[in-house]
Every structure is written in C-alpha cells, then in structure tokens.
Amino acid sequence: MRKAHSFATLGAYLLLSLGIVTAEAAENCIGVIPAGSGQDFWTAVGAGANKAGKELGYSIYFRGPTDESNTNAQKDMMDIILKLNCKGMVLAPNVAERAKDVAALKSRGIPTVYIDRDTGGADVLSVIATDNFNAGKLAAREMVKALKGKGNVAILRLKKGVPSTDDRERGFLEEAKKGGLQISVDEYLGTSVGDVRINAERIIKNAGHLDGIFTPNEATSLGTLIALKQLKMSGKIVHIGFDSGSYLIKALASGEIYGLVVQRPFEMGYQGVHTIHRSLRGEHIEAHNIDTGVVFATRENMNQPDISKLLHMDYGTLSDTLPAP
C-alpha cells in the first residue's frame, strides 16, 4: 500500500510540475528523462527538448531523479511516462539494466533515443552524446600544456560504472601519462556536490604536493572547487573540469579554475526529440552515435561569442543556429 501511495504521489508531483492538464495533451507527448536533476547540464537538456517540442507540436515531459545513483527513481519516472501514453522516450540511462526497459518500450511501439551516455545493449534509435573518451583526452592535453609536461596530478572521479565519466577519466588518464604527467591521486568522490566537497577536501589535504586536478563532470568540478576555496588553494593548482554553471563561470573568470571542457547538452535534448519525431513519421533512422562535440573554455577565450553562448547556455541564441537533424 505504501508503494502505491508513493507512486501516486510521485505521479501527481510530475503532472503538476510539468503542467499536464488533459489526457489529449498527454497522448501527444515525448518523455525526456535525464540521469539526474538540479544541475545546469540537465536543465539545458530540458531546454533543448522543449525547443524541439514546440517546433514539432509535442508536449515534453521532463523529469529526472535528484541523484544520478537512484536507479529506482528513474525507472519509476519511466513507468509514469509510459502510463501517460507518450509516443517516444529520450533517456540518459543511469544503469545498464535500462536496456530491458527500452526493449519493453519497443515491443509496445515506443522508440527510445539515448543521450549523454550509452550503457550498452539497448535497441535504441541513436546515441546522442559527447565523445567522452576523446573529451577526456582533450582535457589531458590542455593539462600537459599548462604544466609543460611535468607535475603531479589528481584524477578525482565521479562514481565507478557511469559510462560517460568512466570514459572521460580513462581518456584523461591515458593522455596525461602519455604527456609525461605523474598520476599521484586517483580517487572517487561520489555523485552529490556535498559528498564531493567533503571527499575532495579530505583527499587534497592528504595528497601532498599537487600541480593539477581533473574532475569529469559538473558535480565533481563544483564540489572540488568549493573544497579548494575552503583550503585556500583555488587558483594555485591547475584545475580542469567539465561543464558549466554560474559558479564555475565566475571561477573561470577569476582564475580560480583553469579550464572547463564544455559540452552541448541543449543540442542533446533538441536532437533527441527530433530523432524520435523522424522515427514516428516512418523515416528510417540508421543506428549510430552522434557526437555533439565540446569546446575547451579558459579565462582567455571565454568571451568569444561561440564559447560564451555555450558557457552561459544562451538557449534562444543557440536554438536559432541549430539545424534540424
């Protein structure tokens, strides 16, 4: 009984938060479920999906778990959207078992597109994401350049088993070693900013001399930056992170963080909805990975128009330049 009550409460909250008011509207919907919520990255995914929905005449139902490690919450949200008879699903899977859910959707004629990461094994239309391995290598090359090929570096990871950050960390590690850097710390921090801050502060305190730090996503970058500020070390270590957000942008401008690998989450949401639409129209979608690309932002280039738009997630300006897939 408690489980049913919880599910009903979650469903009611979802309907309220997304403004779902009629059964007719629900029947012309596409569900967009990120791996998490509360971070600017996922907000940008939702903005891109909503832009595409308005262009194509779909209601977009966007909701993600508060913690990326909460796999049960993501499954509950998928079930709710299924009950709303949505026509397709854009999903950032937070566990490999989502492949079974994707198969169940397909058996009911509901296509799925993966965004941000590919957990493998799922029969999806496409995977629209950053080439995470090469993005990690890019971060390492910039670290090697900043440290002139010498120095002790920490890789402060997110959580084992998250495909996107696993690939970034692997790419960074390979390229950093190739460039002559010494990996003196290699630790996991956790998925929430609070856990990251606590763990990063402890690890950095005990690490000895560090010349550089790499963090592979928004939460690890933000939490580590806060830890460095509390330790009065921000700006004294070459810190290269991922993604953006107001706090990270201010730190970039002040020199407290050296550089950010900035993804295109808006485009992931936008192209994800367009790909579902094309499938529903009967177009053949050749299954393949679509690399949405990254830029490396620094204090020196952050005001260049193309980089500034991505950093600040200028949705209106970006959507004007995005071609329909």
Instruction: Look at residue 325 in the predicted model and tell me its pLDDT.
Output: 55
Q: Are 256 and 227 in contact (CB under 8 A)?
A: no
Residues 150 and 28 in one domain: no
Instruction: Look at residue 305 in the predicted model and tell me its pLDDT.
Output: 92
Mean pLDDT lowest among 23-37, 173-187, 300-314: 23-37
Report yes or no on whether pTM surpasses 0.85.
no
> 56: which 2 tokens?
């194509």
Residues 143 and 202 in one domain: yes
What are 36-67's pLDDT values in tens digits?
887 888 999 999 999 999 999 999 999 988 88
Q: Is residue 36 part of a domain?
A: yes
Q: Is residue 236 part of a domain?
A: yes
Round to whole Å and give the CA distance between 54 and 273. 10
Q: Is residue 174 part of a domain?
A: yes
Look up the domain containing 48 and give its range: 2-130+264-292
Where is mean pLDDT largest: 27-31, 174-178, 280-284?
A: 174-178
Residues 154 and 249 in one domain: yes
Residue 212 scores a pLDDT above 90:
yes
Residue 296 scores a pLDDT above 50:
yes
Instruction: Look at residue 314 in the predicted model and tell me its pLDDT.
Output: 58
Where is mean pLDDT largest: 158-167, 210-219, 280-289?
A: 210-219
| Average pLDDT, rounded, for the chain | 87
Q: Can you tell me the mean pLDDT for 23-42?
A: 80
Round to whole Å and give the CA distance between 113 and 317. 25
Q: Is residue 199 part of a domain?
A: yes
Instruction: Look at residue 121 in the predicted model and tell me its pLDDT.
Output: 84
Residues 57 and 17 in one domain: yes
Residues 219 and 121 in one domain: no
Q: Is residue 94 part of a domain?
A: yes
Q: Are 64 and 287 in contact (CB under 8 A)?
A: no
Residues 241 and 272 in one domain: no
- Label residue 45 exposed, middle or buried (CB < 10 Å: 0-12, 13-18, 19+): buried
Residues 45 and 124 in one domain: yes
Looking at the chain, how many residues does it have?
325
Residue 3 scores a pLDDT above 70:
no
- Between 120 and 229, where is the model more confident? 229
Q: Can you tell me the mean pLDDT for 250-279?
A: 96
Q: Is residue 312 part of a domain?
A: no
Q: Is residue 54 part of a domain?
A: yes
Residues 153 and 77 in one domain: no
Instruction: Look at residue 150 in the predicted model and tell me its pLDDT.
Output: 96
Confidence bin at 322 (pLDDT 50/70/90) = very low
Instruction: Look at residue 174 in the predicted model and tell me its pLDDT.
Output: 98
Q: Can you tell me the mean pLDDT for 22-48?
A: 81
CATH of the domain at 76: 3.40.50.2300
Residues 126 and 268 in one domain: yes
Q: Can you tell me the mean pLDDT for 301-310?
A: 93
Q: Which residues pair with 242 in a beta bridge?
A: 261
Residue 257 scores a pLDDT above 70:
yes
Residues 256 and 271 in one domain: no
- How many structural domains does the chain have? 2
What are 55-105's pLDDT values in tens digits?
999 999 999 888 887 889 999 988 888 888 899 999 999 888 999 999 999
Q: Is residue 313 part of a domain?
A: no
Residues 203 and 119 in one domain: no
Q: Are 130 and 292 in contact (CB under 8 A)?
A: yes
Residues 174 and 276 in one domain: no
